Amino acid sequence: MRHHLTFWKAMFKKPLTTGAVVPSSKKLCNRMLEQIRLEEADCVVELGPGTGVLTKKIALRLKKDAVLLCIDVNPIMVKYLREEITNARIIHDNAEHLKDYIEEMGAPADLIFSGIPFSTLPQRKAEKILETVKDSLKPDGKFVMFQYMHSTVHPRGKGILKILRQKFKNVKLKKVFGNIPPAFVFTCSKSL
């Protein structure tokens, strides 16, 4: 219940960047983690972790010495997540600056997850973040994000799929109806 209250508080303060009325469902989180080799990863990033529904599942599956880096732009989400999750580095910043943290760590990420509502962002901003994501991934790394189905009929939403296809060689789509609202999960790789 507390995570719902935090989510709503964050949403009322910053509706556009929060981009949803409730955290993602178990089904959506499980879909995002399907066929993803978390157990082998050394460095995992989550952009827009919110109240951490996916973060907790990721943290449970990581090996002990793996690094989990979470970046959220909303201070309400960051404060809550720092209290809830102790085995991750939780950063209050914009995902646009991801490369700075990757450079600081000295190695690119194996996996990057995102909950950022890209279709609410101006296309130039969305493109900048997705370029940073690509540059922060290992050559055989994967990027996993979701987008609500209704937003994919909007020109901005369509634009996101176009950007993903330009930046990544392989983009796979999965439907998730068990979420409010229903969503698509995109799994993107730099290599075929």
Ligand X SMILES: C[S@@+](CC[C@H](N)C(=O)[O-])C[C@H]1O[C@@H](n2cnc3c(N)ncnc32)[C@H](O)[C@@H]1O
Segment near ligand X (CB under 6 A), from 13-21, 101-109, 130-138, 156-164?
Answer: 13-21
String marking each residue 40-79 x if it binds ligand X according to CB under 6 A: -------xxxx--xx----------------xxxx--x--
What is d(CA 99, CA 112) in angstroms, rounded to the nearest whole number? Answer: 12
String marking each residue 102-121 x if it binds ligand X according to CB under 6 A: -------------xxx----
Q: Which residues pair with 175 in a beta bridge?
A: 184
Contact between 94 and ligand X by CB under 6 A: the answer reads: yes
Nearer to ligand X, 43 or 73 (CB): 73
What is d(CA 189, CA 169) in angstroms, rounded to the nearest whole number? Answer: 6
Cα 190 to the chain's mean position, in Å? 17
Return the residue of 6, 19, 157, 160 that touches ligand X, per CB under 6 A: 19
CB of 171 to ligand X, least distance (A): 20
Other beta carbons within 10 angstroms of residue 110's beta carbon come to 21
Please check whether residue 14 is in contact with residue 167, taking contact to mean a CB–CB distance below 8 angstroms.
Answer: no
Nearer to ligand X, 41 or 185 (CB): 185
Q: What are phi and psi of 145, to 5 degrees?
A: -140, 165
Closest CA relative to residue 80, chosen from 171, 18, 143:
18
* Footprint of ligand X (CB under 6 A): 17-20, 23-24, 47-50, 53-54, 71-74, 77, 94-95, 115-117
